C-alpha cells in the first residue's frame, strides 16, 4: 500500500495520515511514515516523543553523508543495506512504523533548493518503487516531490478536503496536478464535517464517484492537538470512518 496524502494546509492531512498509519501498525505492517510537508507535524500527531522529534535530522541534511559514501553517486539513491545503516539516524521506529521527515520550513532568502529537491525525489523514488514496505506520505498541496516517475509508485493519492470554498479550490488544483503527472488514482476524503449541509456541499463540489468518505469534526482531536506527547490518532470519533477508508483502499486484514 503506497499512499500519498495531500490537501490544503490545515485540512487535516496529518490526522488522516496518522490514523491510516495506526491501521497499518495495528496489523504489524512494515510501513514508512514520511512527513513530506515542511509545515506539518505528522510525528507529533503520531504521538512520537517531541524531544526525539526535535532532534531527528531531516532527510534533506542526509545528502552530504550519502555523497561521501557513494562518491559520484549523483541524484540516484538506492536505499540498499549500506545506506540503511546511515538512514537509521534519520528514522524513528514505532512498532512496525518507520518515521522520516523530508525537510523543514524554508527560511528567508533561501531561494534555491534544486539540488536538495533532486535528492529528496531520489529518496522517494527508492521508497516508492524499490522497497517492499507500505508508505504513507504526508504532503503539502504542492506535490513537487512527486514526478512522472515516482507517481507510478503511488497507488493512491488521497486529497483531504474541508467543506470550505478554499478547501475545494485547492483540492481541485491538486487533482489537476496529479493528473498532469499521470498519478493512477486520486480520491477525496471530506474532513471536519459538522452537518449534513457540509456533506452535501462537498458531494456537489467534487467528483462524487471519487469521494471515499467523510470524517466528522472532532472536539477530542482538537483537544489532543493541544497536548504534548498525546496523539490525535486512535480516536474513536475518527476510527470508524478511517477503518472504512482503509478497507476501501485495499488495506484489508
Given candidates 55, 196, 228, 236, which one binds a copy of itself under the rule CB under 8 A?
228
Nearest Cα to Cα of residue 11 among 145, 168, 128, 127? 168
Among 82-90, 102-110, 129-137, 239-247, the segment contacting a copy of itself (CB under 8 A): 102-110
CB closer to a copy of itself, 166 vs 240: 166
Q: Kindly write out the interface string for residues 186-215 of this chain, putting x where it contacts a copy of itself by CB under 8 A and - elsewhere.
A: --------x---x--x--------------
Question: Among 128, 99, 127, which residue's Cα sits nearest to residue 24?
Answer: 99
Among residues 184, 161, 156, the alpha carbon closest in space to that of 250 is found at 156
Q: Which three cell numbers stand for residue 66?
A: 550519502
The backbone torsions φ and ψ at residue 19, rounded to the nearest 5 degrees and listed phi first, read -70, -40
Contacts of 74 (CB under 8 A, 6+ apart): none
Cα(111)–Cα(117) distance, rounded to whole angstroms? 12
Nearest to 123 by CA among 100, 141, 156: 100
Q: Residue 162 or 251: which CB sits closer to a copy of itself?
A: 162
**How many residues in total does the chain contain?**
253
Task: For the beta carbon of residue 126, count every other beta carbon within 10 angstroms.
Answer: 18
Residue 16 touching a copy of itself (CB under 8 A): no
From 26, 27, 38, 131, residue interacting with a copy of itself (rule: CB under 8 A): 38
Is residue 11 part of the contact set for a copy of itself (CB under 8 A)? Answer: yes
We find the least distance from the C-beta atom of residue 50 to a copy of itself, in angstroms, to be 8
Draw the binding track, 59-98, toward a copy of itself (x: CB under 8 A; -: no contact).
----------------------------------------
Q: Is the distance from CB of 217 to CB of 209 less than 8 angstroms?
A: no
Residue 170 Cβ, how far from a copy of itself at the closest point, in Å?
6
Residue written as cell 546511515? 86
Which residue is associated with the grid cell 528567508?
108
Report 125-144 residues binding a copy of itself (CB under 8 A).
Answer: 140-144
User: Of residues 16, 178, 189, 215, which one binds a copy of itself by CB under 8 A?
Assistant: 178
Question: Which residues in this chain contact a copy of itself in the complex, by CB under 8 A?
Answer: 8-11, 14, 38-41, 44-45, 50, 104-114, 117-118, 121, 140-144, 146-149, 151, 162-166, 169-170, 173-174, 177-178, 180-181, 183, 194, 198, 201, 222, 225-228
Amino acid at each position: 500500500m503506497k499512499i500519498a496524502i495531500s490537501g490544503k494546509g490545515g485540512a487535516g492531512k496529518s490526522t488522516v495520515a496518522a490514523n491510516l498509519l495506526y491501521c497499518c501498525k495495528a496489523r504489524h505492517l512494515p510501513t514508512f511514515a514520511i512527513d513530506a510537508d515542511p509545515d506539518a507535524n505528522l510525528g507529533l500527531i503520531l504521538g512520537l516523543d517531541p524531544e526525539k522529534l526535535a532532534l531527528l535530522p531531516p532527510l534533506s541534511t542526509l545528502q552530504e553523508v550519502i555523497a561521501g559514501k557513494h562518491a559520484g553517486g549523483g541524484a540516484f539513491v538506492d536505499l540498499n543495506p549500506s545506506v540503511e545503516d546511515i538512514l537509521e539516524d534519520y528514522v524513528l521506529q514505532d512498532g512496525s512504523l518507520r518515521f522520516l521527515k523530508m525537510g523543514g520550513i524554508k527560511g528567508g532568502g533561501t531561494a534555491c533548493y534544486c539540488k536538495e529537491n533532486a535528492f529528496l525525489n531520489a529518496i522517494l523514488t527508492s521508497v516508492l518503487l524499490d522497497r517492499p514496505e507500505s508508505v504513507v506520505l504526508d504532503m503539502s498541496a504542492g506535490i513537487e516531490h512527486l514526478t512522472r516517475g515516482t507517481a507510478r509508485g503511488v497507488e493512491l493519492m488521497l486529497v483531504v478536503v474541508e467543506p470550505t470554498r478554499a478547501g475545494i479550490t485547492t483540492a481541485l488544483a491538486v487533482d489537476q496536478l496529479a493528473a498532469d503527472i499521470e498519478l493512477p488514482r486520486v480520491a477525496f476524503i471530506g474532513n471536519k464535517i459538522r452537518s449534513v449541509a457540509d456533506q452535501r456541499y462537498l458531494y456537489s463540489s467534487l467528483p462524487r464517484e471519487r469521494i471515499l468518505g467523510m470524517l466528522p469534526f472532532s472536539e477530542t482531536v482538537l483537544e489532543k492537538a493541544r497536548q504534548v506527547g498525546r496523539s490525535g490518532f486512535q480516536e474513536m470519533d475518527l476510527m470508524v470512518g478511517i477503518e472504512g477508508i482503509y478497507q476501501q483502499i485495499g488495506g484489508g486484514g
